[in-house]
Structure 1
Amino acid sequence: MRGFRIKNMKVEEINREEKLKNVNSENIVEENLQCNLPGVPQKKSLMSFVHEIVFVAVLCSAQLSTMAALALSIAPINIIGKSFGTSNPGQLSWFTAAHSLTVGTFILIAGRLGDIFGHKRLFISGFLWFALWSLLAGFSVYSDAIFFDICRAFQGMGPAFAVPNAIAILGRTYSPGWKKNLVFSMFASCAPTGFVFGSVFSSLLSRFVWWPWSFWIMAIFCLLLAILGFLVIQNSPVPERDHSSKLYEQVDIFGSISGVSGLILINFAWNEAPVVGWQKPYNYVLLIVGALCMGLFVFFEYKAAYPLVPLKSLSNDAAFMLGCVGVGWSSFGIWIYYSWMFMLNIKKYPPLLCSAHFFPVCLSGTCAAVTAGYLLKHYPGSVIMICAMIAFTVGLILMSTVPVHQVYWAQFFVSVIVMPWGMDMSFPSATIVLSDQMPGEHQGLAASLVNTMVNYSISIGLGIAGTVESHLNEGGRNVLKGYRSAMYTGIGLAGLGITLASWYSIKTYFKRRNKSSTAFLGFSKTSYS
């Protein structure tokens, strides 16, 4: 009888804990439903079905336009280079790397600024900035390649501010569950779709009109999205700031300056190396200074009252997810760039035909996004991440070994089908894991961390692969060998992702197993006492 009474008391205690957990969960959901600005109590918004569709479409367009802008300089890269009088592979790669550099770097601070000043404001401002520098990038045809690179770099700052704040708005609008998984999967599917649309339209305009028109039309599109964002994203009062601390402390000004500076210098050194070589003193000096800046960044983050990246509280789940995203998406950047170079310079295909070869990415990416949303309901994020890393690896193996005269439907087509599964499974799984772990007022931070790794790794991956290519292409005499060597580098990075994800998945499995065993033994002892 004594054991029975203790068992009943144990059940009552568990019921009380469940009720308390449900109350806390309701509070978290209510917090996540606050849509635009942090720290402001809001009621749950009631959007009509049509309003919600437009709302999600506008926010997902941030991801779509980012990848479309990336494609604007890849598809017609030889045409753009010819207009500037250059065919140097290192200089041509800067057309793409400059954009990814600033997207990946300034996303780091965009989420924090959105948490302080409002995500809607930063979203609209990002697209207005995006439109301005897209316009100027088109007019750079009257200048030179350096000005075009500068415009591409400043252009990348626009999506850097739009994307994490779009994710933050979605993260605070939808509470954890199937609907949030579906929305984030849709957001991820816009990456391959955006790239295909950008490559098709830039190829058409470059072939039949003039390549600057692709940038001018992008400017019009970004302006339209800024207007739609103003109309469909709900307004909310200006958040009350914490007046007990200064604004520069809340922004983490020292961490922001050191972090952004370090990321820019390291990335610049890696992407400049294929152009001038590591024998140039300024190149490795910039790399060393960048590493020192990142050291200062880590120091400031541990000391800051409002750290840009809360390293002390960053969980193992988040760290492993970010590491897998970094190596996986760097391999993707290598795959997408050198696949285009292979078709343009080895197979001698025109840009429009190259775009047609990548069209299956849209369908495969959509299927991958829907599948990822379903799998995330039934399996942990670590398992989804292993599948994503395998997809990255298989896609690169297929592409790196394609014979020059092989038919498209053999390895190339299969690679194009497989690769989006890596993109659209890694991005939502990492985003949802971090978003669910962060409170509502730090949804911008969760979005910034994932997107920083995605976009920054694309740029730095190109720099690493470009260095390998320049050292193994026999001084430009064996272009195909250089391309294959660069893609082998991507295989190594994706393989590292498989190792990280597998090790973390095994560790998580045994940790949960031990916890379950301990809980079961403890309950059994209590029941029979």
Structure 2
Amino acid sequence: MDGHANTAEPKNEIPSLRSSESDSSLDEDTRPQNRVYQSTHHATQPSLHHGDLELARTKSIAETMSPIREFFFVGLLCSAQFVTQAGLLNTLNILHIIGSDLGINDPGVLSWLIAGYSLTVGTFILLSGRCGDLFGYKNMVVLGFIWFAIWNVVAGCSVYVHGNGAQVLFIFARVMGGIGPAILLPNALGLLGATYNEGRKKDMVFSLFGACAPGGAVVGGTFAGLWALLWWPWTFWTFGIALVVLAVLSTFILPSVPLDPELRNLSTKERIRDLDLLGASVGITAMILFNFAWNQAPGFGWEQPYIYALLIVGILLFPIFFWIELRVAEKPLIPFDVLSTDVTFVMLCEMCGWASFGIFVYYFIQILQQLRHTSPLLTMAQLSPVAISGFIAAITTGHVISRIGPGWVMLISMLAFLTGSIIVATMPAHQIYWAQAFVVTLIIPWGMDMSFPAGTLIMSNAVEKAHQGMAASLVNTVVNYSISIGVGIAGTVDIHVNNGAQTVEDELRGYRGAMYVGIGLSAMGVLTSVLFLLKMRMHERHVQRNTKAAGV
């Protein structure tokens, strides 16, 4: 992409030499890789080797598909993002109805129905993305749909359990169900990244993937509101049925992308060894403990010794994870050599922006339902503009990211997160919908649907085909883990400033305190993106000076 030239070290471009003949006759074991690598690791190669020329002549897998199959192919993979957000909002929208039936009244425990889901979505993505690199993206996508379906059915069946066991089973099902999207997201993106060559079409496909997030949220929340009029467990049972249908369609429609040549001849045992299970176990444990402490504290109090203990152990495990990845693992879960400074800046922006979004979506709905007493269906009606605005934002991003560069796209998205957080933080308890609530539903999707495509495109174009699952995993890990952490941190502030939430004023004070955290996080995202742009500008000037000096 043109815009990426501003964010990476100078590199030798491989000309786009496309053969007129289709490579459809090549089987999976002989088809050469179709990526044109843009990793800075390859920037030092002075000339094209024979293999590079063959690589450049190879058509992408997408070019071998008929238009109809490509339509269903993209639609199925985009549904991974759609069902992930549907799984978040179908619970959030009827949170208090579920809590009432299961006997959950503590707001701190109620938030676990949301945070527990995002926790496992964020923590298991890295491992599942690596599984896709080793066992095939298509296989993992099908597995993700099936896993997600099973635990949604279990969540609905929790209503038949008596006593506290019902709430325990529901929360457990939500936590386990989050592993489904953790499998789906990186492998769907990995399959897209390995199927399309770089260019405008790939930009647009990745943007469409992001565009499905607000639409999925609205559809999931709306169906939850409809089923709640009858019996809320049907929300999860029908969702599970839909996921099984998607798994069956994926089996017949999705192509099997050939594995990296180094991996084809490995046995199952050798592939499991290459998963870096030691690093994955330490990393997942660290993220779970750290996140659990932050989300448990609002409901049970920071005075509990076990919360401090879990938080400290989680923090101590992070440097151990990095040590394992850098010094111990033969095939690290995260190959840090592909993580340039530019990628690090992008990840920091994603972290700040999506943490503020997690706070926004949770507390915006609380304000609507708890203070303004809107029904679940009316809540989704008031949120519905995010689907339209999000689609426009995603399409716009697909068109402009190659022209203005990912740095400017990231800055605009962070400003959208910041503006949205400020609007919600200043909303009165009772106000006409069109004054602020409507405005924020138009603004916040620009943060979601500009930052996500920018991050995924940068990572996808920075790594080789063999690491597409890892690239998608990093972005999705940051996005979903940040949502969960943001809710936990904001919940702690909420509990400490709401004076027990005995009155509407106290409840609003707590909500605003939580939203101020979101403002601070999104402001950090804006600052980081500005620094990113300054770094890019300095790099451009440095390259120009060197070019002039070489010319002299």
Q: In structure 2, what is the Cα distance between the partners aligned to 1:296 and 1:115?
A: 24
Q: In structure 1, what is the Cα distance between the partners aligned to 2:257 and 2:533?
A: 41
Give 1:22's aligned residue: 15
Give 2:251's aligned residue: 230
Q: 1:51 aligns with which of 61, 69, 72?
A: 69
Give 1:14's aligned residue: none
Q: Give the superposition deviation at 1:440.
A: 0.5
Give 2:438's aligned residue: 413
Contact 2:18 2:59 in 1 (8 A): no
Q: In structure 2, what is the Cα distance between the partners aligned to 1:241 and 1:162?
A: 25
Give 1:38's aligned residue: none
Q: TM-score, normalised by structure 2?
A: 0.87
Give 1:292's aligned residue: 316
Residue 377 of structure 2 aligns to which amino acid in structure 1?
L
Q: Give the superposition deviation at 1:22.
A: 2.2
Give 1:504's aligned residue: 532
1:363-401 CA-to-partner distances (Å, cap 9, x unmatched) read 000000011111112012111100000000001101111
Contact 2:137 2:257 in 1 (8 A): no
Q: Give the superposition deviation at 1:245.
A: 10
Q: 2:479 aligns with which of 454, 457, 461?
A: 454
Q: 2:294 aligns with which of 270, 284, 289?
A: 270
Give 1:183's aligned residue: 205
Give 1:211's aligned residue: 232
Q: Give the superposition deviation at 1:194.
A: 0.5
Q: In structure 2, what is the Cα distance between the partners aligned to 1:136 and 1:186?
A: 31
In structure 2, the CA distance between the partners of 1:44 and 1:427, relative to structure 1 (3 Å rule), is: closer
Q: 1:156 aligns with which of 175, 178, 191?
A: 178
Contact 2:353 2:521 in 1 (8 A): yes
Give 1:142's aligned residue: 160
1:23-51 CA-to-partner distances (Å, cap 9, x unmatched) read 7999xx962469xxxxxx99754111111
Contact 1:74 1:337 in 2 (8 A): yes
In structure 2, the CA distance between the partners of 1:237 and 1:379, relative to structure 1 (3 Å rule), is: closer
Q: In structure 2, what is the Cα distance between the partners aligned to 1:44 and 1:386?
A: 32
Give 1:46-85 correspondences, 5 Å limit: 46-85=64-103
Give 1:131's aligned residue: 149
1:443-478 CA-to-partner distances (Å, cap 9, x unmatched) read 000000000011111111000000000100012221
Q: Give the superposition deviation at 1:185.
A: 0.4
Q: Give the superposition deviation at 1:77.
A: 0.7
Residue 15 of structure 2 aligns to which amino acid in structure 1?
N
1:191-232 CA-to-partner distances (Å, cap 9, x unmatched) read 11100001111011102x111101011101110111111111
Q: In structure 2, what is the Cα distance between the partners aligned to 1:244 and 1:137?
A: 33
Where 1:31 maps in the other structure, the secondary structure is coil
Residue 484 of structure 1 aligns to which amino acid in structure 2?
R
Q: In structure 2, what is the Cα distance between the partners aligned to 1:252 and 1:370?
A: 37
1:73-121 CA-to-partner distances (Å, cap 9, x unmatched) read 1101110000011221101101111110000000011111100011111
Q: Which runs of 5+ in 2 are unaligned?
A: 1-10, 20-30, 37-54
Q: 2:218 aligns with which of 196, 219, 241?
A: 196
Does 1:323 pair with 2:323?
no
Where 1:130 maps in the other structure, the secondary structure is helix
Q: In structure 2, what is the Cα distance between the partners aligned to 1:261 and 1:374?
A: 40
Contact 2:359 2:487 in 1 (8 A): yes
Q: In structure 2, what is the Cα distance between the partners aligned to 1:319 and 1:206?
A: 43
Q: 1:101 aligns with which of 100, 119, 123?
A: 119
In structure 2, the CA distance between the partners of 1:244 and 1:139, relative to structure 1 (3 Å rule), is: closer
1:313-359 CA-to-partner distances (Å, cap 9, x unmatched) read 31111111111111100100100000000011101111111110000
Give 1:120's aligned residue: 138
Q: In structure 1, what is the Cα distance between the partners aligned to 2:362 and 2:438?
A: 16
Aligned-residue CA RMSD in angstroms? Answer: 2.1
Give 1:423-502 correspondences, 5 Å limit: 423-477=448-502, 478-502=506-530
Does 1:356 pair with 2:358?
no
Q: In structure 2, what is the Cα distance between the partners aligned to 1:356 and 1:498?
A: 30
Which segments of structure 1 move beyond 6 Å, counting only runs of 4 or more? 23-26
Where 2:312 maps in the other structure, the secondary structure is helix
Select between 315-324 and 303-312 the one with higher mean Cα deviation: 303-312
Q: 1:373 aligns with which of 398, 401, 406?
A: 398
What is the percentage of aligned positions where both structures have the same residue? Answer: 43
Residue 253 of structure 2 aligns to which amino acid in structure 1?
V
Contact 1:32 1:439 in 2 (8 A): no
Q: Give the superposition deviation at 1:155.
A: 0.5
Q: In structure 2, what is the Cα distance between the partners aligned to 1:134 and 1:33?
A: 37
Q: In structure 2, what is the Cα distance between the partners aligned to 1:398 and 1:244?
A: 53
Q: Which runs of 5+ in 1 are unaligned?
A: 1-16, 35-40
Aligned residues: 499
In structure 2, the CA distance between the partners of 1:24 and 1:300, relative to structure 1 (3 Å rule), is: farther
Residue 31 of structure 1 aligns to which amino acid in structure 2?
Q
Contact 2:102 2:167 in 1 (8 A): yes
Q: Give the superposition deviation at 1:294.
A: 1.4
Q: In structure 2, what is the Cα distance between the partners aligned to 1:429 and 1:321?
A: 8
Higher helix share: 1
Q: In structure 1, what is the Cα distance between the partners aligned to 2:134 and 2:374?
A: 49
